[in-house]
Structure 1
Amino acid sequence: MTAEAMVKSPFEESATDGDRPLRIALLTYKGNPFCGGQGVYVRHLSRELVRLGHSVEVIGAQPYPVLDTGATLTELPSLDLYRSPDPFRTPKRDEYRDWIDAVEVATMWTGGFPEPLTFSLRARRHLAARAGDFDVIHDNQTLGYGLLGQLGAPLVSTIHHPITVDRQLDLDAAKDFKKRLSVRRWYGFTRMQERVARRLPSVLTVSGTSKQEIVQHLGVREERIHVVHIGADTDLWSPDPSVAEVPGRIVTTSSADVPLKGLVHLVEALAKLRTERPDAHLVVVGKRAERGPVARAIETYGLQDAVRFVKGITDAELVDLVRSAQVSCVPSLYEGFSLPAAEAMATGTPLVATTGGAIPEVAGPDGETCLAVPPGDPGALAAALGRVLGDPELRARLGAAGRERVLDRFTWARAAEGTAAHYRAAIERAARARSDR
Structure 2
Amino acid sequence: MRILYLALQQEFPAPHAGFSHVYSVIKSLRKLGHEVIVVCKASRREDIWKWKNYDGFEVLSTSLHLDYFPPTVNMPYERIRQLMTLEILRACAKFKKLVEDRKIDIIHERHDMRFDISGLVSKLSGIPSVLEVNSPFLEECFGEGSVGYMLRNITRRASFKLSSSVVVQTGILKKIIDKNTGVNSKVIKNGADPEMFRPLEKDFKSFEFLKGSVVVGFSGAFKPWHGVDMLIEASKGLDVKLLLIGGKVQVSNGLAVGAIPHEEVPRYLNLCDILVAPFAPSKDEKRKEMYKRYGMWWCPLKIFEYMAMEKPVISSRVGEVPEYLEGAGLTYEEGDVEGLRDAIEKLSKDKELRERLGRRGREKVLEHYSWDKIAKDTERLYEELIF
Under TM normalisation by the shorter chain, which class is it? Answer: 0.7 to 0.9
- Which whole-Å CA distance do the structure 2 matches of 1:53 and 1:398 have between them? 34
Aligned Cα RMSD in Å? 4.0
- Which whole-Å CA distance do the structure 2 matches of 1:46 and 1:156 have between them? 14
Q: What pairs with 1:34-73 in structure 2 (closer than 5 Å)?
A: 34-63=14-43, 69-73=55-59
Matched to 1:328, the amino acid is L
* 2:75 counterpart residue number: 107
1:354-412, CA deviations, whole angstroms, 9 ceiling, x for partnerless residues? 2222322322x2xx211012223322222212222222122111111111111111111
2:230 maps to 1:230: no
Candidates 313, 319, 342, aligned match of 2:261: 313
CA contact (8 A) 1:26 1:139 kept: yes
2:274 maps to 1:327: yes
- Which whole-Å CA distance do the structure 2 matches of 1:378 and 1:44 have between them? 34
Q: What pairs with 1:111-122 in structure 2 (closer than 5 Å)?
A: none
Q: Return the offset for 1:63.
A: 5.0
> 411-420 or 192-201, which moves further after superposition?
192-201
When residues 419 and 51 of structure 1 are mapped into structure 2, their CA distance, relative to the original with a 3 A threshold, is same
- Which whole-Å CA distance do the structure 1 matches of 2:378 and 2:120 have between them? 22
When residues 276 and 191 of structure 1 are mapped into structure 2, their CA distance, relative to the original with a 3 A threshold, is farther
1:117-155, CA deviations, whole angstroms, 9 ceiling, x for partnerless residues? x99777535303324231111001236335153442321
* Greater percentage in strand: 2
When residues 126 and 119 of structure 1 are mapped into structure 2, their CA distance, relative to the original with a 3 A threshold, is same
Give the gaps of 5 or more residues in structure 1: 1-21, 80-98, 172-180, 289-294, 429-437
CA contact (8 A) 2:243 2:272 kept: no
Matched to 2:111, the amino acid is Q
Matched to 1:349, the amino acid is K
CA contact (8 A) 1:156 1:204 kept: yes
* 2:245 counterpart residue number: 284
- Which whole-Å CA distance do the structure 2 matches of 1:191 and 1:312 have between them? 41
- Which whole-Å CA distance do the structure 1 matches of 2:245 and 2:139 have between them? 23
- Which whole-Å CA distance do the structure 2 matches of 1:386 and 1:123 have between them? 56
- Which whole-Å CA distance do the structure 2 matches of 1:310 and 1:342 have between them? 21
2:379 maps to 1:420: yes
Q: Return the offset for 1:329.
A: 1.1
When residues 209 and 146 of structure 1 are mapped into structure 2, their CA distance, relative to the original with a 3 A threshold, is closer
CA contact (8 A) 2:202 2:271 kept: no
2:35 maps to 1:76: no
* 2:4 counterpart residue number: 25
* 1:208 counterpart residue number: 171
Q: What pairs with 1:63-212 in structure 2 (closer than 5 Å)?
A: 63=43, 69-77=55-63, 107-108=75-76, 123-132=91-100, 133=102, 134-142=104-112, 144-145=114-115, 147=117, 148-151=119-122, 152=125, 153-163=127-137, 167=141, 193=156, 196-197=159-160, 199-212=162-175
When residues 355 and 67 of structure 1 are mapped into structure 2, their CA distance, relative to the original with a 3 A threshold, is farther
* 1:351 counterpart residue number: 313
* 1:383 counterpart residue number: 342
- Which whole-Å CA distance do the structure 1 matches of 2:95 and 2:79 have between them? 29
- Which whole-Å CA distance do the structure 2 matches of 1:191 and 1:31 have between them? 28
CA contact (8 A) 1:269 1:379 kept: no
TM-score calculated relative to the size of structure 2: 0.75
- Which whole-Å CA distance do the structure 2 matches of 1:330 and 1:157 have between them? 29
- Which whole-Å CA distance do the structure 2 matches of 1:345 and 1:140 have between them? 26
Q: SS of 1:145's equivalent?
A: coil
Candidates 285, 298, 301, aligned match of 1:339: 301
Q: SS of 2:75's equivalent?
A: helix
- Which whole-Å CA distance do the structure 1 matches of 2:345 and 2:78 have between them? 47
Matched to 2:194, the amino acid is T
Matched to 2:270, the amino acid is R
2:167 maps to 1:219: no
Q: How many equivalent residue pairs?
A: 345
